[in-house]
Amino acid sequence: MSYYQKLFWILTSITTFIRLFIIGRIGITVDEAHYWVYSKFLDLSYYDHPPMIGYIVKIFTDIFGVNEFAVRFPSVIIFIFTSWLFFLSAKKLFNEKTAFVGAVLLNILPVFSFLGAVVTIPDSPLSLFWMLSFYLFINIIETSNKNYWYLLGLAAGFAFLSKYTAVMIFPSVFLFLLCSKQHRLWFSKKELYISVIIAFICFIPVILWNIENNWASFGFQLQHGFGKAVPKFSFTLFGRSVGAQAGYVSPLLFVFYCYALFLCLKDALFNKNKDALFIASFSFPVLFLFNSVATFNEILPHWPAMGYLTLTIYVAHLIIKFWEKKFFRMYIYAACGLAILMNLLVPVHAMFKIVPIEKFLPAAESTKEEYGIPKAEIVDITNDLYGWKELSDKINDTLKSYPADKQPFIFTHKSYLASQIFFYIPDKRVYCLSDKIDAYDLWQRDISNLANKDALFITSNFFDFKNPEQVYPFDNFEKPVEIPVYRNNRIVKKFWITVCKNFNPAKLKPEYTAELLGNKKTFREGFVIADHALFKFINNSLKNKPFDFIVSKISYIDSKGINPGLVLMIILSLVILRAEDKNKFWLMLALFTCVLVSASLINYAVKDIADRARPLAVFGEGNINVFFEFLHGKSFPSGHTEFAFTAMTFMLLIVPKYWYIYILLAFGTAFERIYAGCHFPSDTAAGALIGFITAYVMVKLFKKIYKI
């Protein structure tokens, strides 16, 4: 074992010991409790995240029991493997010294060392599979071993099952290949696309769950990430987001990370540095995406964390490069010292309450009280980690006063509060009857079994006091019982338990039930709903004058029996085939014709069997945008798209150097058929699949038989 490897494992051992000491001594956070509830309702996916974190928590709580240590232990272990993959990746790109310095940074930055390595969140497994994907891609480029593509597909697939941010893995891969001229040949290799297919197959459980549940998770994340309203630039939102990211990375190091990103992009694009391009490709897209969104919508500071993760390798490289400069050394010492302080401050304060919060508040604010609690204690978020034992003891004592067969159900008005209560009384069921759609709506679609039952309503000052009499249909309510919570002999928090008599769920307002979410759908019903929604988005929501002008001209010519895009593909293909090899031109032309005819025959056969109505017949005139093609019958699959993808696949296999032209024309044709109101997205997808498979199989068989 080399010198820096020994240092790495010494560092990892020390920091792991510290984390193991901490994880069982801090109360459960709202997010962790929520992911623990996932494990109580194991499913293919969940309302706010894919399923990986739920299954991980389930395994470890089954082994160690339901406690804080069991929930957090997997994150500690996962961080060890993530750090090792990080070390190996940095070693391949630079050297072991850079790898070790990078590992030190991971262990002092709060966003990695605490948020993902102590607190259990979906970013923990995401970090692992992100780094594994990065490491495998480096091996693909350096060794040209095609088998690594299949492993990359699996790694990316597991990342998709961890968090939706993983969708940026393949764009990062494609960006590297586009920018690296000598590696663009991978676009003509089947392994790249098989890798994407493997990742997609891994992601199928999430898709199936969304089909059944009205695409609830995809809809929630799109709204959560991009907002509900039309984007409007805001300096305030952007500044707040950057400030929050600086806090998660550590302010002084954040400044250097920004500078490092600039140098990395410069090194990658202008100096053609392959190692810098690896890092830039896996850092810049994520950071750019989320910080662009931050200009018009609130984002959480850890969302772009994967960009900072891979960028840390280049930051470590620069630290070593500039280390001889005295001013720089002093700056890094100060930056790392601040990061370590911030990294330790939260857990230490959470355990021992060492920070005098009142000293940082304006004098007028520090003396204020809410519900008899000083403002400083309300501001201190670590207080939410306390009081759960007192609450659970009081709940259990109250339940004991009821006969076993008449015990009241337990509910609250906030999903995260419900999860924390649930965690500390795991043998009981906790309900959340809130006016917002959340995961609990899916877990309690039918609450008719609660009719005529008594209930314990629980609220706290942390999530705002709620008077149940104003919302919930019970016959009567007893006076709330107040449960004060103390830390260092000071009151820091309060719970209230209200006994509610005789519940009538039929009178509960629809927004407090799962009614707004809709009934659970069959796979077919869910697929059709999504297909129609995507059609309306492309056909209507994306409508603009430039698209109208282009598509209307294409539609007019198409209505006369000629599609200009397909004619262009044919002419272009003939010219390229002729220029490429005149001796084999007629042979290639014959093969091209056979492939096009075969794919068209398959497409027509499927179209006759499916006999699906066109969008115009489904929605009616005046409800969709159409131009010159007023079509009604036989929509599935799209013949135009099939033809375009057949030609594209054929040419990519025969003369791949013009791949970008064919990809643009093929996908442009599919988009045009939807925008023109002629086909549903599923029609174009099926046509594309028929064209791709037919051309791929026939060309491969031809090459094998004739040994070309």
Q: Rounded to an integer, what distance in angstroms lies between the CA atom of residue 404 and that of residue 510? A: 31
More confident residue, 633 or 433: 433
Please indicate, yes or no, if residue 9 is contained in any of the structural domains: yes
State whether 536 and 506 are in the same domain. Answer: no
- Does 655 have pLDDT greater than 90? no
Domain shared by 61 and 149, yes or no: yes
**pLDDT value for 176:** 97
Same domain for 109 and 194?
A: yes
Shared domain check, 490 and 545: no
Domain with 608 in it: 523-706
| Residues 258 and 123 placed together within one structural domain of the fold | yes
For residue 117, the 8-state DSSP code is T
Predicted confidence (pLDDT) at residue 708 exceeds the cutoff of 70: no
Average pLDDT over residues 434-452: 91
d(CA 138, CA 89): 8
Q: Check residue 365 and give its pLDDT.
A: 82
Question: 574 and 511 in one domain?
Answer: no
pLDDT of residue 521: 75
> Which of 578 and 167 is assigned the larger pLDDT?
167
pLDDT given for residue 542 in this prediction: 81
Q: Which two tokens stand for residue 296?
A: 């018009």
H/E segment holding residue 502: strand 490-503
pLDDT band (50, 70, 90) for residue 132: very high
Distance in angstroms (rounded) separating the CA atoms of residues 640 and 663: 14
pLDDT above 70: residue 650: yes
For 518-555, what is each residue's pLDDT tens digit?
Answer: 777 777 887 888 888 888 888 888 888 888 888 888 88
Residue 354 lies in a domain: no
* Res 228: pLDDT: 63
The first and second tokens of residue 280, run together, are 């830039």
Considering the domain architecture, whether residues 283 and 165 belong to the same structural domain is answered as yes
Burial class (CB in 10 A: 0-12, 13-18, 19+), 189: middle
- Are the beta carbons of 440 and 421 closer than 8 angstroms? no
Q: What's the average model confidence in pLDDT over 597-604? A: 91
pTM for this predicted structure: 0.86
Distance CA 189, CA 659 (A): 12
Does residue 579 sit in the same domain as residue 476? no
* 434-444: average pLDDT: 91
**Same domain? 309 vs 290:** yes
Closest CA to 285 of 269, 272, 304, 299: 304
- Residue 530 contacts residue 215 (beta carbons within 8 Å): yes
Is residue 624 pLDDT above 90, yes or no?
Answer: no
Whether the predicted pLDDT of 204 surpasses 70:
yes
192 plus 304 within the same structural domain: yes
Q: Could you read off the pLDDT of 13-50 as tens digits, one per residue?
A: 999 999 999 999 999 999 999 999 999 999 999 999 99
Q: Is residue 26 part of a domain?
A: yes
Phi-psi map region of 297: left, alpha, beta (phi>0 left; psi -120 to 50 alpha): beta
% of the chain residues with pLDDT over 70:
98
560 DSSP assignment: T
Q: Sign of dihedral through CA atoms 574, 575, 578, 580? A: negative
At residue 380, φ and ψ (nearest 5 deg) are: -75, 100
Higher-confidence residue of 563 and 403: namely: 403
pLDDT for 474:
96
Q: Is residue 16 domain-resident? A: yes
Which of 331, 347, 363 is the endpoint of a domain?
347
Sequence letter at residue 496: W
Total domains in the chain come to 3
**Does 364 fall in a domain?**
no
State the amino acid at position 82 in one-letter form: T
Residues 259 and 153 in one domain: yes
Residue 588's H or E segment, with its range, is helix 585-610
Structure tokens, 635: 């929509």
Where residue 667 sits, what CATH number does that domain have? Answer: 1.20.144.10
Residue 358, in any domain of the structure: no
688 near 636, Cβ under 8 Å?
no
**Average pLDDT, rounded, for the chain:** 91
Is there a domain that residue 64 lies in? yes
- CA–CA gap between residue 82 and residue 463 (Å, rounded): 35
What are residue 486's DSSP bridge partners? 491
Quick check: is 508 in a domain? Answer: yes
Query: Above 90 in pLDDT, residue 498?
Result: yes
Closest CA to 360 of 379, 373, 374: 379
- From 517, 543, 575, the end of a domain falls on 517
Mean pLDDT of 654-676: 87
User: For position 654, what pLDDT does the model report?
Assistant: 85
Boundary (domain end) residue, out of 467, 489, 517: 517
Mean pLDDT on 370-375: 88
Residue 673, classed as helix, strand or coil, is helix
Residues 10 and 156 in one domain: yes
Look at residue 610 and tell me whether its pLDDT is greater than 80: yes
